[in-house]
Chains A and B, each alone.
Chain A
Amino acid sequence: MQQESKNEFQGAGKYILDQELASIVNISMKLEMPLLLKGEPGTGKTMLAHAIAESLAMPLIILNVKSSMKLIDALYQYDTLTRLNDSRFGDSKRDVSDIDEYIKMGKIGQAFCADRRTVLLIDEIDKADTDFQDDMLDVLDQMQFDIIETDRTIKAKHRPVIIITSNAKKDLSDPFLGRCNFHHIAFPDPKMMRKIINVHFEGIDVKLAENAIDAFYVVREIDSIEKKPATRELINWIRALSADPDFRAKDLITNQLPYLGVLFKKSPDYERVKNIATRRKMF
């Protein structure tokens, strides 16, 4: 085990790693299985892939899944339009009779063709249709796909480290889940949050950080909030607070919370919190 330790993931600069997660990442890498991450937005699912790439010094390839995406878009694109134009005007340097000249690799294709092991992040897979996931199964299982136009098979030179994230907007299909390892990233507790904040704001005023985090966890607990503020919102909020010259850290305890709009992005949520905050002040 010891000699392998340099290939193990141990966290990176701006990413506070939870040991549990680290061992899951390492297991998935060794079993060569994709790792599926779920969790509230802002718990650092995407950041993890960045951190793995950074710590293992592998190139990171990101596939941002969109709702209308077909698997083929992620594999390769056959640029018919350019070819048509080239054949008509004949002024390009490309060889029109060679279809390969017009095949562009998509993100998965790029990861497969890369000369070294890469980290492939498939971000927010739940946005796409279930068809997308089902189609992807074979590709990830076999680590290869065919280019229909040229009848060529692209085989992965190095199995990429695959991280898949999902916001659980839709459920993923069972066969798909069967091929992944799964982890749910829980929301960080206040202690963890302190560490995260400290990494992001070096030399931050201790009082400010403490009060802001306290207030943050209080507003998170308010009933029936649709979109709870996450780490990203807290970081932005602290940034806003420290940018305001009139702001004093103790205001967070005694007065109404400023810049609530940074924390709450949905208008019903915002109204609700604002009402509660005002009421608190009255007492």
Chain B
Amino acid sequence: MFLKFFYTLKEIGIPVSPTSFLTLQKALHQGIINNLDDFYTCARSILVKSERYFDLYDQVFAHHFEGVPLPENDGFEVDEIARGMLEEWLKDPKRVADALGVNEDELKKMSPEELIEYFKERLKDQKGEHHGGYKWIGTGGYSPVGHSGYHPGGMRVGGESRNKSAVKVANERRYKDYSTAGPLTQAKIGEALKRMRNMIPAGPKDRINIDDTIRETLRNAGEIELIFDRALKDRLKVILAIDNGGWSMDPYIHVVQTLFDYARSQFKEVKTYFFHNTIYDYLWEDTARYKKPKKIIEFSKLDPETRLVIVGDASMAPYELMAHDGSIHISERSGRPSIDQLQYLAKTFSHCVWLNPVSESMWGYTHSIMTISKIFPMFELSLDGLEKAVTSLMAKS
């Protein structure tokens, strides 16, 4: 029973295991589940093991039992943006029409459904033709028609689901804030911090210190005295280098800084540097990239165990990366192309990652992203990407 439902969940990327499916069958056989509402809650608690997938589960459920169409594989994000555009349209049709460059009256003739379809088409077009197509439409909220942010009503709906049908509950998509895809926003900071917590090396005091034990036992006239040590690990040092050059990075700088600010206490030190587009001879300690430069060469003096986290969209003209005089700053003329400097940094710090706010599906379109991702392990600046980045930073080399 419900095999198709199970496989749809699996296909869409929820890690469901056959064992849990059998458990669900057991529950069905025991007659515990009597109606669709029960099935909704029970199947979720048995099959889905993380609130991150609750949102996807809701969508699949609504699809399977009510025929609500699943968003196409272009992603749930596009769907959401289109809906955001519709809301925007209802408020101020002229602005949306202008932004899309179409006649307002033409759009007015369409029904809401048609409008959504139309917006989606437009979004897809955009993806194909432009490299950072998302920029035009702005997932992060820096475009005229960006998506309206996560449903404010989203996760706050508590109980009383008895008054609504399960499908309706599923359709509300209460768990959107926990969904792991999509760019990092202020609202997700709390979730993101949890991902960062894995960056603490610490263990229980469980190593017996033989030397001290013998010494203390002797001192104690043969009375056995056990001395335990914590496995010796120091707290981490982190260098955070942020591209604060172009407007394309603006929405993320603050998020990333807040994130590391809050996480500061768990590290030994966090140093923040800034750069524009890519790294040449210097990184700057001040946001204006003017007063406090630090030579890249000097970074080799630092502890190689330091974790280097670079945040940037890595999108630039190829010559900026490759040419000897690629830097737009006249003072940076050491003759070493940026790509050499990046390789140098990657060699100095064996634990390094590059976090990129550009959606991973778009990386293939930009030459410089491909090149840089060969030097640094590159991850998306999203909850998922952050999690992978932390794993990569903590991996034993």
Contact = CB atoms under 8 A, between A and B. Distances in A.
A189 B156 contact: yes
Nearest to B169: A20
B48 interface: yes
B160 to A, nearest CB: 7
A190 B156 CA distance: 8
Contacts of A129: 203-204
Given A1-B31, A226-B193, A19 B204 contact: no
Nearest to A84: B224
B41 A24 contact: yes
B204 A68 contact: yes
A228 interface: yes
Contacts of B19: 178
A187 B158 CA distance: 6
Interface string B40-56: 01101110111100100
Interface string A5-34: 000000000001111110110111011010
Interface string B166-196: 0000000011001000000011011001100
Give the interface size bracket for A toward B: 35 or more
B158 A18 contact: yes
Contact of B50 (A20, A33, A182, A225): A182
Nearest to A222: B186
Contacts of A24: 41-42, 45
A19 B186 contact: no
B198 interface: yes
Interface residues of B, number: 51
A268 B263 CA distance: 12
A67 interface: yes
A18 B31 CA distance: 22
Interface stretch (A57-65, A117-125, A169-177, A208-216): A169-177
B215 interface: no
A70 B37 CA distance: 40
- Give 6 closest A-B pairs by Cβ, nearest first: A18-B159, A184-B51, A68-B204, A177-B49, A192-B158, A188-B158
Interface of A: 1, 16-21, 23-24, 26-28, 30-31, 33, 35-36, 38, 67-70, 129, 168-171, 174, 177-178, 180-184, 186-192, 223-228, 268
Interface of B: 15, 17, 19-20, 23, 26-27, 30-33, 37-38, 41-42, 44-46, 48-51, 54, 155-162, 174-175, 178, 186-187, 189-190, 193-194, 197-198, 202-206, 255, 258, 261-262
21 contacts: A17-B159, A19-B159, A19-B161, A20-B41, A23-B38, A23-B41, A23-B42, A27-B42, A27-B46, A31-B23, A38-B51, A70-B206, A129-B203, A182-B46, A182-B49, A184-B50, A184-B54, A186-B155, A188-B158, A189-B157, A226-B193
